[in-house]
Amino acid sequence: MADPDPDPAETQRTKELRLLVLQYLHEEGYTEAAHELEQESGLYFDAKHLEDLVQCGAWDDAERYLVGFTNWNENIYSAKIFFAIRYQKYLESRYRHMACEEGQVVADDLEALAPFNKFWAKRAAAIEEIREGESMDTASARNAVAVEIKKLIQANPLLQSKLDFPSIEPFRLKTMMRQSLEQKYSLGNKPELVRDWTLFSDLPCDTSCNGARSGTKEQTTGACRTQNVKQTHKQPLMVKTTKLARGMPDSATTCSKVVGLLYTSNGNVLLALHSNAVHNLWKWQRGCNNKSWQPANEIVLKNDTSDVNPEEATPCIALSQTKFCVMSASGGKVSMFNIMTFQIFHTFMAPPPAATFIAFHPRDINIVALGMEDSSIQIYNLNVEQVQMKLTGHQKMITGLAFSESLNVLVSSGADTQLCIWRIDSWDKINSRYIQPPAKRSGDTRVQFHGDGTQFLVVHSSHLAIYDLKLEALCIWGPKGALPAPISGAVYSCDCLLVYAGFCDGAIGVFEAESLRLLSWMAPPYIPPSIPSVGRVYPIVVAAHPSVPNQIAIGMNDGSVYVLE
């Protein structure tokens, strides 16, 4: 049982560390070790765990867990919990015709609660009336005991404060360790030390290295800095990070999270769509301040949001082959506009249903596929301003569309985790399957074709995968090890040799595209590790430069955009 009067030297941070370790054990699947720590520390009472022990008749384990938090003689609620466990244990021993000696031990355990004589006498009398050999519905009896114990736990003042686990960011312990290592070793002038990171001892670092660290100043606007990154290669990866400044003068354009991000075909322009339906555009150049650009008339480009809260909508954005025509929606009508003038020249498809994904036909710029929130895919002809075909087959809204010009097919993905393949000359469905993510791991499913058009990347919060047109998974990678957090977005590099992925703890992973073998990873370069963040800042969308394989742009949940080289 936990000491009711803890040592005054046990600080709040020590308790927090134990809770972080407990969270880590649960996240890594070390459930038994986690329950042992709960019982030994007395910091968190997992009522569901005790209920499970009761349901499966693990009476000794149930008592052992309970003793970590309270004893039978501390109050009436604790006594009743212990009695309920021992009472059911004794009943089952009678029905199983337990050996006389063993049954007497159980009876003695039960009788130890006699000081609460009124409660004991009433229940004990009932035991004597039970006839041996009488039938018993064990499952129902245990369920009734579990319900009774749950009520007693909630009423017990010794347990009430330990029933709710503190609100902690996912994978917090790993994030803290990674940030600590980044802060200590990645800002120095000895990049060769990075590959030797260890948690067991400090790395050698001379005074010149320390001096370099102490003299480093982090910039928050238009910042460029070089960062060492943990990787599997023998040489450390150097990453140059540029934060793109926001220069929109109107307070109404204060940026929400970035939900869409794309390069123009020449790679010199970046366009971001924010969750408040506002667009930001940068004419990006190395070494410049890179403030967001606006036409001379200072037009603020915002999607139609009539009768819609854009923060709750599913936004979408796509660039046509004409280079300067963009199609975008934020829960309202779909807008078409010129990227260089911000002039909207056409709106269409008023909801419901709202468009949730947009993809231009690879051979006909007047044909666009629109994934809808009602799970349909509408093939829209811009010339005649009509829907030419409506494709059905998904059960939930469409979250991804990708064309393969070489194989003449369209691949769709939905919130139902289903993949479908459609022939684009007849719009017939030719194949479908579910990707079956792990239980309780929801999230949108996105798709992107490899440059050869014969296989495609599937992105889900639970895993990355490469599929062929038979919808067979060629390789799969799931969060683990150095990158344990859910995946927030991923994309092929322009040469399709790499896959860049963002994670919900802020990390970035670089994978070999053919095998999804992790090549390198880096902790968040955009927030100095020494500055605690109120909330986790992480990439929501990742965009690959169209001609530079080692450059990507990432859009963050705080509205910022970074270019990584």
**Tokens at 240, concatenated:** 């140059």
Give the lowest-confidence range in 12-16, 147-151, 241-245, 346-350. Answer: 241-245
Cα–Cα distance for residue pair 266/111, rounded to 1 Å: 83
Mean pLDDT value across residues 41-56:
91
Q: In sequence order, what are the residues at sequence separation of 6 or more whose Cβ sits closer than 8 angstroms to the Cβ of residue 150?
A: 47, 51
Residue with tokens 């009067």, as numbered in its chain: 5
| Fold category of 259-351 in CATH | Thrombin, subunit H (2.40.10)
Q: Are 360 and 318 in contact (CB under 8 A)?
A: yes
Instruction: Characterize 37-49 residue by residue with b for buried, 16 or more Cβ atoms within 10 angstroms of its Cβ, and e for exposed.
Output: bbbebbbbbbeeb
Residues in a beta bridge with 261: 272
pTM: 0.60
Cα–Cα distance for residue pair 490/422, rounded to 1 Å: 23
How high is the pLDDT of residue 447? 95
Q: pLDDT band at 112, cuts 50/70/90?
A: low
Flag whether pLDDT at 292 surpasses 60: no
Q: pLDDT band at 564, cuts 50/70/90?
A: confident
Flag whether pLDDT at 223 surpasses 70: no
Q: In sequence order, what are the residues at sequence separation of 6 or more whose Cβ sits closer than 8 angstroms to the Cβ of residue 455?
A: 449, 466, 467, 468, 469, 474
Q: Are 354 and 370 in contact (CB under 8 A)?
A: no
Q: What radius of gyration, in Å, describes the C-alpha atoms of the chain?
A: 30
Q: Are 499 and 464 in contact (CB under 8 A)?
A: yes
Mean pLDDT value across residues 507-528:
82
Cα–Cα distance for residue pair 438/300, rounded to 1 Å: 42
Cα–Cα distance for residue pair 68/66, rounded to 1 Å: 5
Q: Where are the alpha helices (DSSP H) in 415-456?
A: none
Among 521, 529, 526, CA closest to 559: 526
Q: pLDDT band at 114, cuts 50/70/90?
A: low
Give the lowest-confidence range in 64-73, 76-85, 199-208, 462-471. Answer: 199-208
Flag whether pLDDT at 234 surpasses 50: no
Mean pLDDT value across residues 351-371:
91
Largest CA distance in the chain: 95
Of 200 and 395, more confident: 395
Mean pLDDT value across residues 384-410:
92
Of 334 and 250, more confident: 334
Q: In sequence order, what are the residues at sequence separation of 6 or more whose Cβ sits closer than 8 angstroms to the Cβ of residue 557?
A: 257, 258, 537, 538, 539, 540
Q: In sequence order, what are the residues at sequence separation of 6 or more whose Cβ sits closer than 8 angstroms to the Cβ of residue 482?
A: 178, 230, 507, 518, 521
Flag whether pLDDT at 253 surpasses 60: no
How high is the pLDDT of residue 294? 54
**Tokens at 316, concatenated:** 């979408």
Torsions phi, psi of 485, nearest 5? Answer: -80, 160
Q: Are 86 and 123 in contact (CB under 8 A)?
A: no
Query: Length of the chain in residues, anyone?
Result: 565
In the chain, helix, strand, coil percent, each to 5? 25, 30, 45
* Burial of residue 499, with CB atoms counted within 10 A of its CB: 0-12 exposed, 13-18 middle, 19 or more buried: buried
Give the lowest-confidence range in 39-43, 156-160, 341-345, 554-558. Answer: 341-345
Q: pLDDT band at 136, cuts 50/70/90?
A: low
pLDDT tens digits, 410-468:
999 999 889 999 999 899 999 999 987 665 555 689 999 998 888 999 999 989 999 99
Q: In sequence order, what are the residues at sequence separation of 6 or more whose Cβ sits closer than 8 angstroms to the Cβ of residue 47?
A: 150, 153, 154, 163
How high is the pLDDT of residue 64? 92
CA 156, 147, 53 angle in degrees (round to 5)?
A: 90
Highest mean pLDDT among 26-35, 128-137, 223-232: 26-35
CA dihedral 277, 283, 286, 287 (to 10 degrees): -90
| SS3 assignment, position 120 | helix
How high is the pLDDT of residue 375? 93
How high is the pLDDT of residue 239? 62
Kindly report the CATH class assigned to 365-478: mainly beta
CA 318, 319, 320 angle in degrees (round to 5)?
A: 120
Other Cβ atoms within 10 Å of 521 Cβ, number: 21
Cα–Cα distance for residue pair 435/413, rounded to 1 Å: 10
Q: Where in the sequence of the chain do the CATH 2.130.10.10 domains occur?
A: 365-478
**Tokens at 438, concatenated:** 């792990």
Q: Where in the sequence of the chain do the CATH 2.40.10 domains occur?
A: 259-351
Of 38 and 121, more confident: 38
Cα–Cα distance for residue pair 136/480, rounded to 1 Å: 46
Residue with tokens 């067979």, as numbered in its chain: 472
Cα–Cα distance for residue pair 113/200, rounded to 1 Å: 49
How high is the pLDDT of residue 318? 92
- For the chain, the average pLDDT equals 78
Among 303, 351, 364, 349, CA closest to 330: 303
Amino acid found at 398: I
Flag whether pLDDT at 193 surpasses 50: no
Cα–Cα distance for residue pair 182/482, rounded to 1 Å: 13
Flag whether pLDDT at 209 surpasses 80: no
How high is the pLDDT of residue 137? 76
Peptide bond into 352 cis (omega under 30): yes
* Distance, C-alpha 557 to centroid of its chain: 13
How high is the pLDDT of residue 73? 83
